[in-house]
């Protein structure tokens, strides 16, 4: 690993991205790209393809809006009714990646675990309540969940987000390892502050000393 240091001897906190890292993306994709366009099509008596085109155009046009990641905002904007109905219809799609529970259980006895996510509160709270590690909700495995829109007023995990996470946790940058599936927000950005970071590429498209393809790759690094 290019960070070829004994990570286990330095790290106090292991930080995870949520969607695409711990939790499958099927639920999010179903809400944004199926439920909302389908409801829009029904409301305006449009073919689904035309409704999808309009919805996606509106997503692009409003990118950067402070509530852009809030599904409630889009249900209000498009007058689609109660977002909870869509959640109920798709809740069965909320799933942990197969190895996530095993890895979290293994690390939790030795490390402080946190989540740093760009997911808005409705999404991440629903997932943490729905998913379980044995008898407990997934939330119980983590000391803290930092959501950029709700805790920091930011849409993306920028330098200030990571800086504030370090401050709130009371640790130095080299005492944190962040793991996520976005090469910029989960890897490049935290590294500018001296945080260790690994790129989780589940599709196997990337290779390199700082790329892992499965969360189980963390275990030999952190539990020698």
* pLDDT confidence of residue 1: 42
* pLDDT confidence of residue 4: 44
**Boundary (domain end) residue, out of 35, 58, 92:** 92
How far apart, in whole angstroms, are the C-alpha atoms of residue 101 and residue 113? 13
Q: Are residues 195 and 133 in the same domain?
A: yes
* pLDDT confidence of residue 6: 64
How far apart, in whole angstroms, are the C-alpha atoms of residue 221 and residue 206? 19
* pLDDT confidence of residue 154: 87
* pLDDT confidence of residue 220: 93
Query: CB burial class (10 A; 0-12, 13-18, 19+) of residue 107?
Result: buried
Residues linked to residue 200 through DSSP beta bridges, in sequence order = 212
Q: Model-level pTM?
A: 0.89
Q: Are residues 45 and 131 in the same domain?
A: no
For residue 78, what are the domain limits? 27-92
* pLDDT confidence of residue 136: 78
Establish if 2 belongs to a structural domain: no
CB 31 within 8 A of CB 86: yes
* DSSP code of residue 111: S
CATH number (domain holding residue 142): 3.40.50.1000
Which residues of the chain register pLDDT less than 50? Answer: 1-5
Q: Are residues 18 and 40 in the same domain?
A: no
Establish if 1 belongs to a structural domain: no
* pLDDT confidence of residue 2: 42
């Amino acid at each position: 690993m290019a960070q070829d240091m004994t990570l286990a001897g330095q790290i106090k906190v292991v930080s995870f991205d949520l969607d695409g890292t711990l939790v499958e993306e099927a639920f999010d994709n179903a809400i944004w790209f199926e439920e909302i366009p389908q409801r829009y099509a029904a409301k305006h008596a449009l073919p689904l393809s035309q409704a999808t085109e309009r919805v996606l155009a509106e997503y692009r046009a409003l990118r950067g809006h402070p509530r852009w990641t809030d599904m409630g905002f889009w249900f209000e904007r498009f007058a689609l009714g109660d977002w909870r109905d869509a959640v109920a219809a798709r809740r069965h799609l909320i799933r942990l990646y197969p190895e996530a529970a095993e890895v979290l259980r293994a690390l939790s006895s030795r490390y402080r675990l946190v989540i740093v996510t760009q997911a808005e509160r409705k999404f991440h709270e629903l997932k943490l309540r729905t998913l379980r590690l044995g008898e407990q909700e997934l939330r119980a495995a983590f000391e803290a969940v930092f959501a950029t829109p709700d805790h920091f007023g930011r849409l993306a995990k920028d330098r200030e987000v990571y800086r504030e996470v370090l401050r709130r946790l009371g640790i130095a940058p080299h005492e944190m390892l962040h793991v996520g599936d976005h090469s910029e927000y989960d890897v490049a950005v935290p590294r500018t502050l001296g945080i260790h970071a690994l790129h989780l590429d589940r599709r196997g498209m990337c290779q390199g000393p700082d790329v892992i393809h499965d969360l189980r790759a963390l275990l030999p690094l952190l539990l020698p």
